[in-house]
Amino acid sequence: MSDDLLTTLPPPVARAIRIATEARELADSSEERGLIRCAGYIAQAALQHRGRLALTEAMAEKIVRGYVQHLLDADLFEPAAILLWGPGAFDWRPESCRRVWEGLMGTDKLLVQGAGSMGKSYGAAAWFYLDWYRDPDWTCIKVVSLTAAHATRNIFASIKTFHRTALIRPGGMDDDLATSIQSTTDSKQGIHLVAIPKGESGHGSLRGFHPSPRFGPAHTRWGKVSRTHIVLDEAEEVPDGVWAGVMNCLTAADSSTPGRIKVFAASNPRDRTSQFGQRCEPKFGWGSIDMELDRDWRSRDDWQVIRLDAADCENVKERRVVYHGLQTYEGFMAYVSKGRTAEASTMARGWFPEEGIAMSIITPAMMDNAQGIIRFTGPVVPLASFDLALEGVDQVLCSYGRFGLSDGWTDRSGKFHEFKRPRTMLQLDSQMPFPKAATLEQAQAITKFCKQMKIGPRWLCVDRTGNGAGIHDVLCSTFGADVMGLNYSWAATETPVMGDDSQKANELYNGLVTELLFALGKYLEFEWLKISPGFRNEDLTKQAISRRYMQKGKGLVRVESKKDYIKRTRLGSPDALDSLSMLVHLMRQRGGNVATMSEKKPEVVEKELVSLVDSAASFVDFSE
């Protein structure tokens, strides 16, 4: 044990670690008498017993188990780990392990986004086993994994190893079950593997998983109710249905009794739009934190987030193997030497890749920067667009917003960003689903909404692709002939997307749908559009940064079809993205303002230079 590290710990913790280290060495000194020697030392050093003890194996086991229980009840997990496993099987000293343990001790909702080989799952496995050990009869831990085969190689396998190799196990039932660890015959308690078959949604996997009443005396810390914990291994890959179950379990959480319900999820960060990534998002957005500075934060959904950066690993900083099993300097350099690639961000820095994948139209950084509220300086025009997805499971989705002259905008942290010159901006206020209905009923519902929101026919845009043509025609007849209709099979327009584009849209983009999405991307990139953080827009963000495009020849690009997008991402129809792109198109075509990529330069009025001689001569009176 490093004396330097011990000096940084509180004296009671350092003393307990010294006792546990010495006791474990005595336990390992002899297969026959080791446990008795260990118990005798604990009795003298920790229990202050004076005199010689004549111990049997059973008495020694009781003393050691009782001391482990004492350590765990006092939240002294480090000495308990040393005593149970010894330094060879588990080492709590790496900074990454200590940070995970501190997080688990301090919060009941913990997310860990970490680089590869940083011990995020292994350290958590040790902590959860110890936490179960201190109250095994009334603690249930469910370890969720993608498949049973995956779990046998990861966190559940580590927990079983800790159980099998412990110096002293909890008393009671000691059967080594394939997918469970229990101290009693009550299958509602213990540590259980929940394997989600590939392709399944995960709905129902955590159904009914709530604390239950305890029988007998109340626990000194958790009272008359049992404890439930959830561990999500490789959390980015966990199906959405499991996360729904997690949120259902958290409805029974009680802040007055911390530790009763605990959720832990860890993953290598790859996709900000995943359920895991969305919950990791900082309160004020990804733009509010820095990869070089921030290592933990509170998320927008009130989770504690810990980031494990391999640049902070002792092996990397000292360029030698300090702790076996963690990322080495050579491994770290193999990632970062290739530049700021997505793989380096994920596996070396524990950071979600910022710019997403190649051939994407909209990046995560663009969506993050778009979150804000515009300050308008004059009258505004309300407008709306409807994506009339009338086939399959697609939903009718409305994007509602306003545009007008603005002098700046306020981000999610409350900071105001002033423009050098006023500009006409578009604010997306909300997106809302509408129930599907027959043609006339759908047109009536849209008309009613527009009248309530003071939106005129000229500022309404609907999708007239396929069956949507009928709704558009009815709206033109009953609401106003100026209602704009769009068909995604149409060609791109003959207008430039931005005022300083050198080419028209139909010279760059194959089809109107491609023009719409690239125009949306430019409005986001050059800050002509802001998205209100007042409504949940995770689906919009996920769809925006997931949509790809490809080259089609003759210098044109084409966005992937909706069918290909759904097949590739399995995210469902991108209705939110399509609806917003239509709103931008409506403003572009009818707003009377041309957005530009650069600041407009003030016009310089050239005046003819007049010399002093000419000026004087012009006033000479030659009449005399």
C-beta of residue 431 within 8 angstroms of C-beta of residue 400: yes
Query: Given this model, what pLDDT does residue 603 score?
Result: 47
Do 83 and 101 share a domain, yes or no? Answer: no
Stretch 522-535: mean pLDDT, rounded?
95
Answer yes or no: do 310 and 382 share one domain.
Answer: no
C-alpha R_g of the chain? 32
**What's the rounded mean pLDDT across residues 579-601?**
88
Burial per residue of 482-517, b for 16 or more beta-carbon CB atoms within 10 angstroms, e otherwise: ebbbbebeeebbeebbbeebeeebbebbbbbbbbbb
CA distances from 130 to 81, 88, 105, 245 (A): 8, 17, 12, 25
Q: What's the average model confidence in pLDDT over 41-57?
A: 85
Looking only at the bridges linking them, the beta strands covering 296-298 and 304-308 are antiparallel
Q: What angle do CA 437, 439, 441 make, to 5 degrees?
A: 55
Same domain, yes or no: 322 and 394: no
CATH number of the domain that 288 lies in? 3.40.50
pLDDT band (50, 70, 90) for residue 357? very low
355 within a domain of the structure (yes/no): no
The CATH number that applies at residue 474 is: 3.30.420.240
Residue-wise pLDDT tens digits, 217-265:
999 999 999 999 999 988 998 888 899 999 999 998 888 889 999 999 9
pLDDT confidence of residue 592: 87
- The predicted-structure confidence for 188-228, as pLDDT tens digits, reads as follows 999 999 988 777 888 888 887 889 999 889 999 999 999 99
Are 85 and 141 part of one and the same domain? Answer: no
Q: Are 141 and 58 contained in the same domain? A: no
Q: Do 332 and 369 belong to one domain?
A: no
DSSP codes joined into one string, 389-435: --STT--EEEEEEEEEEEEEEE-TTS-EEEEEEEEEEEEEEEEEEE-
Q: Residue 606 above 80 pLDDT?
A: no
- On whether both 310 and 383 belong to a single domain, the answer is no
Please indicate whether residue 87 or residue 250 has the higher confidence score (pLDDT).
250
Q: Helices (DSSP H) in 90-204: which residue ranges?
A: 95-106, 120-133, 148-151, 155-165
Question: Does residue 602 register a pLDDT over 60?
Answer: no
* Residue 113 and residue 350 in contact, taking contact as beta carbons nearer than 8 Å: yes
Q: Are residues 388 and 268 in the same domain?
A: no
Q: With bands split at pLDDT 50, 70 and 90, how would you rate the model's confidence at 151?
A: low
The number of C-alpha atoms within 13 Å of 256 and in the hemisphere containing its C-beta is 1
CA distances (Å), origin 319, targets 117, 119, 315 = 16, 18, 6
Which of 89-103, 189-203, 305-319, 431-445 bottoms out in mean pLDDT, i.e. has the lowest? 189-203
pTM beyond cutoff 0.75: no
Count CB atoms within 10 A of the CB of residue 618.
8
Examine the pLDDT at 84 and tell me if it is beyond 70.
yes
Q: Would you say residue 431 lies in a domain? A: yes
Output DSSP code: residue 596: -
**How high is the mean pLDDT of the chain?**
89
**Residue numbers of the domain that contains 236:** 90-336
Quick one: 403 and 552 in the same domain?
yes
Average pLDDT of span 328-338: 90
Q: Which of 555, 529, 548, 578 is nearest to 363 (CA)?
A: 548
pLDDT for residue 600: 59
pLDDT tens digits, residue range 384-409? 999 986 555 567 999 999 999 999 99
pLDDT of residue 273: 81
Domain tally, the chain: 3
User: Which pLDDT tens digit goes with each residue over 63-83?
Assistant: 999 999 999 999 999 999 999
Please check whether residues 65 and 192 belong to one and the same domain.
no
